[in-house]
C-alpha cells in the first residue's frame, strides 16, 4: 500500500485516475463566461477532487488527463504559444510546483505548441496569506513579457472562481502587445458558473429532450474515451472582445 498509486478522484488504489472517475469527468459539461473565459469542468464532485489532488495532494500525474479534457472539450482555435497565470510565488514554493504551470505544459504538449512563461506576479506575497495587501483588495496583478501583435496566446489556470485572476493576466498580456488571448481553466466554481453563459448550462437539459441545438458538437474528439458531453455549439472564443479589455484598464 505504501507505494500504491491512488486515484486522484476517489482515493482508491490503482490508476492515477480510475475508469469510474474518468467517465465521471467525461460526463460533465464545459462552460464559457460572458467575458470569454472557458472552463472544461464544473468545480464539483470528482472534478473538484481531481483538481484539489493536483493542487494540494501532489497528484501531478492528473495534469495530463485534465489537459486532455481541456483541449478536447473546449473550442480553443489556433494558438501560437501556451502560458499560465502564475500562482503566487510563496504558494508555489511551499508546494514545490505551480499547478497552473503543470497544466499549461500538459496542454501545450497536447496541442503541439510551445509553452512559455510570459507572466509574473506584480506583488510579492506576505508570510501569512501568500497575498499582498494590494492583491487582497484589488485581486492579483501581473506584468507580462512583451509580445508581437500577431501572437495568439492560450492562457491557462487551474480553477476560475471570480475570473479576476485570468482577466488580470489577460489584460497584462494584451498591454504587453500580444495580439489575442484565449483564457482556459480546468474547472469553474459554482459561483463562477452563475456568471457563465446560460446557454452552456442549459445544454445538458436540452440534450435530454433531444434538442437539435446540442446534438451536433462542433469539436472533434480524438478519442472515444473522452466523449464530449454537453459541449455547446456556440462560438466559444470571441477575440473581438480582447482589445476592449486593454483599453479599459
List contacts with Zn ion (CB under 5 A): 7, 9-10, 18, 21
Residue 148 burial (10 A CB sphere; 0-12, 13-18, 19+) = exposed
Min. distance of Cβ 248 from Zn ion in angstroms?
Answer: 43
DSSP per-residue string spanning 170-212: HHHHHHTT-SEEEEEEEEE-HHHHHTB-HHHHHHHHHHHTT-T
**Nearer to Zn ion by C-beta: 21 or 166?**
21
**Nearer to Zn ion by C-beta: 4 or 240?**
4
**Nearer to Zn ion by C-beta: 17 or 172?**
17
Per-residue buried b or exposed e for 188-226, using 16+ beta carbons within 10 Å of the residue's own CB:
bbeebbebbbeebbbbeebbeeeeeebeebebeeeeeeb
Min. distance of Cβ 14 from Zn ion in angstroms?
Answer: 8
**Nearer to Zn ion by C-beta: 9 or 53?**
9
**Nearer to Zn ion by C-beta: 9 or 36?**
9
Min. distance of Cβ 48 from Zn ion in angstroms?
Answer: 13
Distance CA 83, CA 101 (A): 8
Q: Which 3 state secondary structure label does DSSP give 84?
A: strand
Min. distance of Cβ 43 from Zn ion in angstroms?
Answer: 17
Min. distance of Cβ 10 from Zn ion in angstroms?
Answer: 3
Amino acid at each position: 500500500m505504501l507505494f500504491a498509486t491512488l486515484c486522484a478522484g476517489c482515493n482508491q488504489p490503482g490508476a492515477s485516475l480510475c475508469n469510474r472517475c474518468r467517465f465521471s469527468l467525461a460526463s460533465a459539461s464545459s462552460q464559457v463566461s460572458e467575458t470569454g473565459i472557458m472552463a472544461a469542468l464544473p468545480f464539483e464532485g470528482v472534478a473538484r477532487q481531481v483538481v484539489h489532488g493536483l493542487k494540494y495532494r501532489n497528484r501531478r500525474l492528473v495534469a495530463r488527463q485534465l489537459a486532455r479534457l481541456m483541449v478536447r472539450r473546449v473550442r480553443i482555435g489556433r494558438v501560437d504559444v501556451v502560458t499560465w497565470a502564475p500562482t503566487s510565488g510563496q504558494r508555489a514554493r511551499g508546494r514545490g510546483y505551480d499547478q497552473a504551470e503543470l497544466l499549461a505544459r500538459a496542454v501545450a504538449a497536447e496541442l503541439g505548441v510551445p509553452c512559455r512563461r510570459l507572466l509574473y506576479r506584480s506583488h510579492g506575497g506576505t508570510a501569512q496569506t501568500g497575498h499582498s495587501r494590494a492583491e487582497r483588495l484589488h485581486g492579483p496583478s501581473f506584468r507580462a513579457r512583451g509580445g508581437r501583435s500577431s501572437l495568439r496566446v492560450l492562457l491557462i489556470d487551474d480553477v476560475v472562481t471570480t475570473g479576476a485572476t485570468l482577466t488580470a493576466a489577460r489584460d497584462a498580456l494584451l498591454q504587453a502587445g500580444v495580439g489575442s488571448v484565449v483564457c482556459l481553466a480546468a474547472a469553474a466554481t459554482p459561483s463562477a458558473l452563475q456568471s457563465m453563459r446560460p446557454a452552456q448550462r442549459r445544454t445538458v437539459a436540452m440534450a435530454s429532450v433531444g434538442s437539435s441545438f446540442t446534438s451536433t458538437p462542433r469539436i472533434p474528439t480524438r478519442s472515444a474515451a473522452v466523449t464530449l458531453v454537453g459541449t455547446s455549439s456556440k462560438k466559444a472564443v470571441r477575440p473581438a472582445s480582447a482589445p476592449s479589455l486593454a483599453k479599459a484598464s
